[in-house]
A and B are shown apart, each in its own frame.
Chain A
Amino acid sequence: MSKQISDEVLLDIHRRMVRIRIFEETAGKLAEDGKIPGALHLYVGEEAVACGVMVHLSNKDWITSTHRGHGHLIAKGGEFDRMFAELFGRSTGYCKGKGGSMHVSNLDLGMLGANGIVGGGPPIAVGAGFSNKFRKTKNVSISFFGDGASNEGAFHEAANMAALYKLPVIFVCENNGYGEYTPQANHQAIVDVADRASGYGMPGVIVDGMDAVAVYEAAGEAIERARNGEGPTLLECKTYRYYDHVGVRGMGMTYRTDEEVEYWKGRDPIDMMEARLAEQGILSKKDAEAIHEEVTKQVQAGVEFAESSPMPTPESLLEDVYA
C-alpha cells in the first residue's frame, strides 16, 4: 500500500463496478428472454479488474478488450443507452448494430473494441502503444486478455515486441481459471501466468483480482512505469466469472462445482468494496443501496432507449466496409 487512496477514487471504482454489475445482470436476463440476439459473454465477478485499472486512464489512453468486453467499455466510460442499443442490434448502437456484444467499441473513449478472437487484442494494443510512443505522447495502452489467451501465439509475439521496444503497454491478464470451459490446470502447466513475464524481460505481478483496491494499486505502478518510458508489465489478476463462458446459467454445470462458484461469490468484489467503504465511513449501506437504485434506473433507461431505437436500414448493410 504505497499512498493513501482518496475517497473520491474509491467511490469512483465502486460506482463503475456497480454500473458493470447491473448492466450485465440485466443484459443476461434480456438474453434469456430472447431480446438480445447472438452470444453474450458476461463480466459479472470480474468487475474489480476493469475498474481498478480504468480509473487511472484518460480517454487518450487506449485499451483492447476481449470477447468478455462489456465491463471494459463501461469502466472506460461507455454509456448504457448506446451499449444496449448495440447489443440489441440497433442503428443507435456504438457500432450502428454492426458489431454487437463481441465487437462493441468506442474509439472516442480510447476503447479499441471487444474482440471475438481470443488473443486478437494483444498485438493491437502493442500497435497502440507503439503509436503512443511514436507520436511522443505519455499515453499508455492496456491489453486485457485471459488465461486462455496467454496460450495464443499472438500473445507471445505481442509481449516480446512490447518488451523489445519498451512500449508503454500493460498486459492485464484476467485469470478466471478457465479457457472457455477448460480449467487452467488442463490448458497450461503453470499456475501463475505472470511467470511468463520474465521470459519476455518484463516484470510480472500477481494481484487478487477480486480486490479492486489491490488491482488499483498494482495497475497504478505498472501504468506509471509505462508512462515514464520504462516499458511493459504483465499484471495477472486472479478472478472468477460467475456465469458461464457464454450466456448466463453458471451453476449446476459439469465443468465446475457449485461449491467453487459459491466460494468466489463469497469474495465478491462489490461486497468487499462496500464493506471497506462502510468500515472507513466513506459510504453507508444505505448510500450504497441508493447508488444501486440510481444505476438500476439508468440501466432501465438504457434498455428503453435501445428497445425504442430503429433497426439498421437495409441500405446501411454495405456502408462502412470501406472508408
Chain B
Amino acid sequence: MAAEEGSAPVRLWDAPTRLVHWAMALLIPYSWWTATHDQLERHRLSGYILLGLLLFRLIWGAIGSGPSRFATFVRGPGGVVRYLRGESGAAPPGHNPLGGWSVLAMLAALAAQIGLGLFAVDEDGLESGPLSYLIDFDTARWLAGIHHKLFWVIVALVALHIGAILFYLARGRNLTAAMVTGRMRAGADTEAPAMAPLWRAALAATIAAAIAWFVASGLRF
C-alpha cells in the first residue's frame, strides 16, 4: 500500500465506525476514572453504553461498510504470515492482517471486561453489576478481581494499538486522520470500498441498544 503522492482520497471508515471508535476511546478511560473515584453509578452507565457500542460494532462487522466488516479484515494465521513476509500483494484499504487481529483482541477484551462487570460486586456487597443477583457473593467477588486485572490487559492492547499508529506516523502515514475524516489517500487503481446505507446503521443501533437495555435492567422487562 504505497503511492500516497498524487492519489485520490477514498471513503474508508463510515460515520458509525468512527463514532463507535471515538466513543470507546473516551468511555474506556472514563470507566477507569469513575471506578477509581467511587462513582459506580456513572461507571455502570458508562459500561452500559460501551456494551451497546460493542454490540453495534459486532453487528456492523457483519452488515456494515466493506472496510468495517470482519470478513474483510480478519485473516487466518497463513494470511498474517504472508503479510509479515511481504508476500500479500495488493490489499484492500483498511486494517492489514496483523492489525485486524489487534482489533479483534481489543473487542474480545472489552467484551470480557463488560461481561465480568455485569456480574461483579464490590467488597461491601453494596455496588454491583445488574446480573450479580444471579450468582453468590464469593463468585461475584472473584469475578470483580478478574475485572480489575483485565483492565490492564486492555491498557496493554491499547498501548500496542497506539504504538502501531505512531510507527506508521513516523513513516508518513496518518491513520488517526483517517479515523477522524473517514477518508484516506489510496492509489488511483484502488477500488472505492462499498459503504453501507444509513438505514442499516439505524437498524443495527436499535438492536444493539435494545439488547444493552435489557441486560442493564438485569434481564427483566
The answer to whether A and B assemble together is no
